[in-house]
Copies of this chain bind each other. A is one copy, B any other.
Amino acid sequence: MPISRRRALGTALAAPALLAAAPALAQGQAAPALRQAPGFYRLKVGAFEVTVVNDGYNRRPNPAEGFVRNADAAAVRAALAADMLPTEHLDITFNITVVNTGTDLILFDTGTGGLLAPTAGTMWDNMAAAGIDPARVSKILFTHFHGDHVSGLVSREGQARFPNAELIVPEAEWTFWMSERAPQQPAGMVKSRFGAYPAERIRRIASNAEIVTGITGLPTHGHTPGHTSYVIANGGASLLVLGDVTNHPTINVKNPGWHIVFDMDPQAAEATRHALFDRAAADRTMIIGYHWPFPALGYVRRSGTGYDLIPVPWTSAI
């Protein structure tokens, strides 16, 4: 008799009689496949069906150095430690908002597309798990054109991922990235992402335009020249699609005066954070933050010189 079989029988015989019928966990048969639940979360905003789709994360090493322009490393480490986070790295997540209005299936930004970090690009699996078919997306709205927001437009081979979507872009953002003023390398990336779509499918809008009934732009310039947030409102409920008005909440929800390296106009970005969050705190507006921990839904509350992020409680009820 092989050793392994004898050991298994020995275990079974040593167990109380009532447990003898139990599958022998010691043989390792009981371990469930270790997978996470799919990264999507559903809620309703009035009659609108909203799905948050997670696109994974990027692990930034040593976030205390070189991530925040105007805070010293000790202050950043202290902020991370106070929120019970590691100080040697910071996982920055990506969250795409999908809204079914009943007449349109609308995406807000398109994630990393799996092109930017090995730990990101889970949006395709998570969209599939949520029953969302990219071919049914009718409109994509963009907060801004940084690579982690526009790369999901295309496959690794450069093909359009959303064959039937109209791309709706803030005029100020478009104008900047297509101009000589834009830094060359990221501008090339932006052009290659949008270039996979016919020009007539790209519509430029004012940052305060109403896109469809109940979905309206809100100019939040600073992070980029044309950065635009969106308000989704239906049936007396609303949700603010923040984009990158902040990055990770420990960094600049709690510390709105901290300037991260990606804020192209740091002073304007800081002013935007204060103006927007003061209003959202007073109005008790539900917010989705692109880089907040999934499902990335919360409220802000004034606290000291910054804001607390109050996560929306998860519920099985939609």
List chain A positions with a Cβ less than 8 A from chain B: 16, 18-19, 21-23, 25-26, 28, 30-42, 49, 51, 54, 56-57, 82-85, 91, 93, 100, 102-105, 119, 122, 129-133, 135-136, 138, 163-166, 198, 200-201, 284, 293-295, 299, 301, 310-318
User: A42 touching B37 by the CB < 8 A rule?
Assistant: yes
With contact pairs A36-B41, A37-B42, A42-B34 given, residues A21 and B314 touching in the complex (Cβ less than 8 Å) = no
User: A318 touching B25 by the CB < 8 A rule?
Assistant: no
Residue with the greatest number of chain B CB neighbours at <10 A, chosen from A21, A30, A93, A130: A30
User: B316 touching A293 by the CB < 8 A rule?
Assistant: no
User: B100 touching A22 by the CB < 8 A rule?
Assistant: no
User: B136 touching A37 by the CB < 8 A rule?
Assistant: no
User: A102 touching B37 by the CB < 8 A rule?
Assistant: no
Residue with the greatest number of chain B CB neighbours at <10 A, chosen from A34, A85, A100, A314: A314
Task: Give complex CA distance A85, B312 in Å.
Answer: 9
User: A284 touching B25 by the CB < 8 A rule?
Assistant: no
With contact pairs A84-B310, A104-B25, A105-B25 given, residues A166 and B201 touching in the complex (Cβ less than 8 Å) = no
12 contacts between A and B (CB under 8 A): A21-B164, A23-B136, A25-B103, A25-B136, A28-B102, A33-B131, A34-B49, A35-B42, A36-B41, A84-B284, A93-B314, A293-B313
User: A136 touching B22 by the CB < 8 A rule?
Assistant: yes
Identify A25's interface contact among B18, B132, B138, CB under 8 A.
B138
User: B28 touching A138 by the CB < 8 A rule?
Assistant: no
**Chain B neighbourhood of A200, CB < 8 A:** 16, 18
**Chain B neighbourhood of A317, CB < 8 A:** 36, 57, 119
